[in-house]
Structure 1
Amino acid sequence: MKAAAVPVGGGELAALVWEASGEATHAARDALPVLGVHGITANAAAFGRLAAELGGRRLLIAPDLRGRAGSAGLPGPFGLARHVGDLIAVLDHLDIDRAILVGHSMGAFVGCLTAARHPERVGGVVLVDGGLALPMPADTDIDAMLGPAMARLGMTFADLDTYRAFWQAHPAFEDRWNEYSEAYIRRDLTGQPPALRSACNETAIRADGADVLGDPDTLGAVHRMPRPARLLWASRGLMDESPGLYTPERLAELNVPLPARELADENHYSVLFSSAVREIVAEIDAVAEQSVHA
């Protein structure tokens, strides 16, 4: 893994890059790369386990989206359309013609919007527990939807141990902690003890959340999908509750014409940190194969 800095409007977007390597170097070099797009208060390290499961078969790039972690200092305007522009800048900077987009949660909405606006740059999209309109009442705000993940933005923490304890007490992470979730929270921290805090820019989070909850262009992007796409949905939600964000009934109601599979016994967060990531790898390969024959 290496760090990269991508010139974008207002400065540089931070990214992590896992190179294609290993015995199948030639095949990996020729395979469509993967661009990981994280969730609303997450960061690039959310894709560490995906990189491990890919095993160097494909190049994987994961940026810290504008307003998060290493990209926290980038200015607005914020919103999902700005992320689309930043993702295209990443592909341009790395001289990548097309990539498979893997979007988790809010990142799935960004992936759909990118494919709808720039189909020539997208080989396919894997949606991971996101990308389709959420079953939320019209008056739901981002604080109510995200709970502790949003509340932490206004908190300070005495040290890394205190921050780790905060996340380990979260129902979605309880009894599921591993090296990948550890790397994820470490990348989120900024400041100095005893006043460590999340690096997320709250203004950016709220602007992005407004798009996910109510922007017609964002919510309609999955219905305009011009590239192969697949959905993996978790049976449990953001607080490890059941049901999760999506159910078979909800998917039928949305009437989105793309293959969808349930990740049983996984929650909204664990899908990126558990062995369920192998299912994401399988879907990456499936949409890549579809792209070749499209």
Structure 2
Amino acid sequence: MSWSLVAPQLAKDRPVVAVDLAGSGYSQYSERYSLDDQSDLVLGVVEALQLDKPTLVGHSLGAAVVGAVALEHPDRISGIVFADGDALPFDGREGEPPAVASFIARTPYALSLYRLGTHWNWFPRRIFDAQCGSVCHGLHGAKGDALVDAWIRPLRQRVAEEAMLDTADRPMLHLTPEQVRAIRVPRAVLWGEEDATGGGSREGAERNLGHPPSATVANAGHLSMVADPDGFMRALNGLLGRMTPAG
């Protein structure tokens, strides 16, 4: 759902497919959430829809997923874009579950806390607003409230509850710096100007990818495609024409 503001605009010039990774959105509860599982899911969508070497854009944690596809199946895609994500574990850790999330997932009150957080839109709205940055064009007014409700609605499903608690207690999806440096397909980096921590390090992403073309969404935080959908689209369109393979 985070792509719902940008995808229709991008689709005016090209086919666009937004994928719910396993354990998120309305995807089925599968108990298979490893990086290999998620990259296989993305490749499966490419094959099922007979997409001809698409460019994959991975936001935040999704950067690791599209990076894994690029490593394992470079001949099936045209390139990748890391959007607000460097594909690495946070704070240099080896991908262990975040301590707070893991603790909550293990408590007997985990389900109650989860339902409390997703039952009303007030709390999620505050999180989305904080992640937008100085501007948040996509969440203005009643339309923004409806969009937040659309994002949160699938999280209220029973299977989503199980999936979220399961994934919270698992290692985060990530690549190693060596794996990112091994990516050879055309690639680019797109980052919100005010996103300092949400998806890792922009400088690290650019360095490990060999300083590919990059673009900035002004005044945007981690949710750069929500903060300024038009600015994100312009930046992405500009990058798609400048991407080159690794040397």
TM-score (norm 2): 0.74
Cα RMSD for the two superposed structures: 3.8
Q: Tell me if the contact between 2:53 and 2:77 (Cα under 8 Å) persists in the aligned partners.
A: yes
Letter in 1 for 2:59: H
Looking at secondary structure, tell me which structure has more strand per residue.
Answer: 1
Q: Is the 8 A contact 2:10 2:233 kept in 1?
A: no
Give the aligned partner of residue 287 of structure 1.
240
1:54, CA displacement in angstroms? 1.4
Question: 1:101-116 maps to which residues of 2 (within 5 A)?
Answer: 101-116=56-71
C-alpha separation in 1, matches of 2:197 and 2:170: 27
Q: Which residue of 2 aligns with 1:223?
A: 181
Quick one: structure 1 residues 155 and 173, their matched pair in 2 at CA, closer, same or farther if it must change by over 3 Å?
farther
Structure 1 position 50 matched with structure 2 position 6 = yes
Structure 2 Cα separation of the partners of residues 58 and 145 of structure 1: 41
Partner of 2:34: 79
Q: Offset at 1:117? A: 1.0
The answer on whether the counterparts of 1:49 and 1:180 sit within 8 Å (CA) in structure 2 is no
Which residue pairs with 1:168 in the alignment? 125
Q: CA deviation at 1:264?
A: 3.5
Shift of 1:285: 5.5
Per-residue deviation, residues 167-211 of structure 1 (Å, max 9, x unmatched):
1222326984325444222233214xxxx97564332354351x4
Q: What are the within-5 Å matches in structure 2 for residues 16-95 of structure 1? A: 45-76=1-32, 78-95=33-50
Comparing 89-98 with 251-260, which one deviates more in the overlay?
Answer: 251-260
Q: What is the alpha-carbon distance in structure 2 between the residues aligned to residue 152 and residue 235 of structure 1?
A: 35
User: 3-state SS of the aligned residue for 2:86?
Assistant: coil
TM-score under structure 1 length normalisation? 0.63
| Structure 2 segments unaligned to the other structure (5+ residues) | none
Change (3 A) 1:56 1:188: farther
Q: CA deviation at 1:288?
A: 5.4
Answer 1 or 2: higher relative contact order, Cα 8 Å, separation at least 6: 2
Q: Partner residue of 1:13? A: none
Correspondence 1:184-223 to 2 at 5 A = 184-191=151-158, 198=161, 200-207=163-170, 209=172, 211-212=173-174, 216=176, 219-223=177-181
Q: Summarize the alignment of residues 259-270 of structure 1 with structure 2, pairs less than 5 Å apart.
A: 259-269=213-223
After superposition, what is the alpha-carbon deviation per residue over 1:224-264, rounded to whole angstroms, capped at 9, x for unaligned? 22221111122334xxxx5653355x567657331223333
Structure 1 stretches lacking a partner, 5+ long: 1-44
Task: Output the amino acid matched with 2:150.
Answer: A
Q: How many residues align?
A: 230
Between the two proteins, what is the percent identity of the paired residues?
19
1:125, 1:287 within 8 Å by CA — same for their partners in 2? no
